Structure 1
Amino acid sequence: MAAPAPAAAPFDANVPPPAPAAPDAAQNGGWTGSGEFGFASSRGNSHTENANAKLGLSQENELWKNNIYLNGLRSKGETSVTDADGNTVDRFSTTANRYDTGASVGYKFDPRSYIVTAARYEHDDFGANLWQGIVSVGYGYIALKNDRAELSFEVGPGYKRYQPAKSTRPELNADGTPVVDPVTGAAVSVPYTPNTEGEVVGRSLINGKYRLTENTALEDTLLIEAGSKNQYYQNDIGLSVSMTKKMALKLGYQIRYNSDTQPGTVSTDKLMTTNLVYNF
């Protein structure tokens, strides 16, 4: 005779239903992703608009550690310019226009060590370089990875090409002396585009993440591309606070440094963002 089935547990309206199971990244090969967007606009005594967006995809499983990203930034604002009559006027014009994209493919030798090939391209209408691109190969090591913290390193050689920003230089006479404006007596400057540069560089990447609480996380990424002509450093630090399983708010701060700059441009660019993040 079969044993009687166990009695069902009594229903309690005060007990919430069990949460649905979290999506397992292993079901899609270890791929995860996130998208960010931020926008700000002001009207009145001043007129400014700025927007930034980020898209990132990453994969990590027993064999691969891959990453793809695409970022964009565009800003407009009132700037003071001098018209043809010599008058100073305010115009609403673009003040920032930058995008960058990159990818890395890492093949694991073991759970901690991997070989990585990376490529990056950036275009910046207002930066020290109009564009820059690099390809590299190197060694990666995962120093720490658990439920709360991650820390990894990559280092290796690469080759970089970049176009320095447009600038001005004194106009010269046939004998090499500067041309002088007959009215003002000042030297006359003419626009010019520097030659494209290329060099072998050393690339290193440090990536760290730390979960402060169940819904708050801190992450920091330091990229170094150092050559004999130009040294480029970029550090991105972000603090994210989860609102739901998929949505979060993120405060980010970025510092970018180029050692080789043209007259009229500075070496360091800084950017602070507050974005809405969607994780998938």
Structure 2
Amino acid sequence: MRNVAKPVALLAALATPLAWGFDDGSEPVVPPFSGGIELGAFMATGNTETTHIKGKIDTQHLIGNWQNQYLFETLYSEDGDERSAERYYGLVQGNYPGAGKHYFFGMASGEVDKFSGYDYIATGAVGYGQRIIDQDNMTLVSEIGPGYSYKKIDLNEDPDGEDESSWITRVKLEYWWQFSSTAEFRQLLASDIAFDGANISRSETSVSAALIGNLAMKLSYNVKYNSDPVGDLKSTDTELGATLLYSF
């Protein structure tokens, strides 16, 4: 696993300029963000002690010809005194040109999942995207490009395991449909296909409906698939959740 930092640093360097816009070529210009904040929590006391907290921040903004995304999400669950889930995921991506039907992208992401068999996963990729459908109430976007992924093994889960580093092909498909004035449907599919090691794929299916003002209720079903799980862990993790969504 020598020289792992070099490919990751190279891809991060390629992705970083795509995440910022410049007014005169010297100073970054950061206009007001748009996006949404999600929060869901469930806590029970008495005979059953249960805590479940889910949060997500997903923001976008346009700067000249650049379209940028900043995403952070977290999940924590506890049954009694035993932790059952703890995950943190962050992503930054920039697209150029942001408003074009065809564009180039650069992205970098990191994940810490205490129950995945890895201490962390770091990924970077660059590539090509296309807006296959681009209407006021419906969009369909596809992306594909080369990248690099490094997975730090959790030795508590697999004492004899080895860290994984591999070039990957990143593929993403995202569909959005506003099927009424107050409700919308979204489907996200993303996969990091490794040349050597585990393939990691994610899916999020969600429906949201407006409650009052900028506040909405969101129901989502998430699937995470690992083609070669660590140790005796299962390949597929699923999550069904309900959150409040505030858009700004």
TM-score (norm 2): 0.82
1:116, 1:137 within 8 Å by CA — same for their partners in 2? yes
Amino acid at match of 2:180: T
1:257 matches 2:246: no
Q: Equivalent residue for 2:25?
A: none
Which of 138, 145, 152 is the matching residue for 2:127?
A: 138
- 1:61 to partner: Cα distance: 6.6
1:128, 1:267 within 8 Å by CA — same for their partners in 2? no
Aligned length: 218
Equivalent residue of 1:192, what SS? coil
- 1:197 to partner: Cα distance: 1.2
Identify the structure with bigger relative contact order (alpha carbons < 8 Å, sequence gap 6+). 2
- 1:212 to partner: Cα distance: 1.4
Which has more helix, going by share of residues?
2
1:124 matches 2:129: no
Structure 1 distance, partners of 2:50, 2:245, is 23
Structure 1 distance, partners of 2:240, 2:84, is 15
Give CA deviations for 1:60-119 in whole Å, capped at 9, x if unaligned: 4761221110000111003xxxxxxxxxxxxx1211111000110111187201110001
Equivalent residue of 2:239, what SS? strand
Q: Equivalent residue for 2:244?
A: 276
- 1:125 to partner: Cα distance: 0.6
- 1:224 to partner: Cα distance: 0.6
Which of 150, 165, 170 is the matching residue for 1:203?
A: 170
- 1:42 to partner: Cα distance: 2.1
RMSD: 1.9
Q: Equivalent residue for 1:219?
A: 186
Structure 1 distance, partners of 2:118, 2:97, is 34
Which structure has the greater CA radius of gyration? 1
Change (3 A) 1:30 1:112: farther
2:206, 2:221 within 8 Å by CA — same for their partners in 1? yes
Give CA deviations for 1:167-223 in whole Å, capped at 9, x if unaligned: 56xxxxxxxxxxxxxxxxxxxxxx726222100000011111001111010001111
Equivalent residue of 1:212, what SS? coil
1:72 matches 2:74: yes
- 1:248 to partner: Cα distance: 0.3
Matches within 5 A, 1:228-267: 228-267=196-235
Structure 2 distance, partners of 1:264, 1:167, is 12
Structure 2 distance, partners of 1:56, 1:238, is 14
Q: Equivalent residue for 2:148?
A: 159
The structure 1 segments of at least 4 consecutive aligned residues displaced by more than 3 Å after TM superposition are: 28-31, 165-168
Amino acid at match of 1:234: R
- 1:229 to partner: Cα distance: 1.3
Structure 2 distance, partners of 1:46, 1:156, is 47
Q: What is the percent sequence identity of the aligned residues?
A: 22
- 1:140 to partner: Cα distance: 0.8
Structure 2 distance, partners of 1:100, 1:106, is 20
Q: Equivalent residue for 1:188?
A: none
Give CA deviations for 1:221-272 in whole Å, capped at 9, x if unaligned: 1111001311110001110001123100000110001112222311111111
1:113 matches 2:96: no
Where does structure 2 lack aligned partners over 5 or more consecutive residues? Answer: 1-29
Change (3 A) 1:202 1:238: same
Amino acid at match of 1:264: D
1:104 matches 2:93: yes
1:167, 1:263 within 8 Å by CA — same for their partners in 2? no
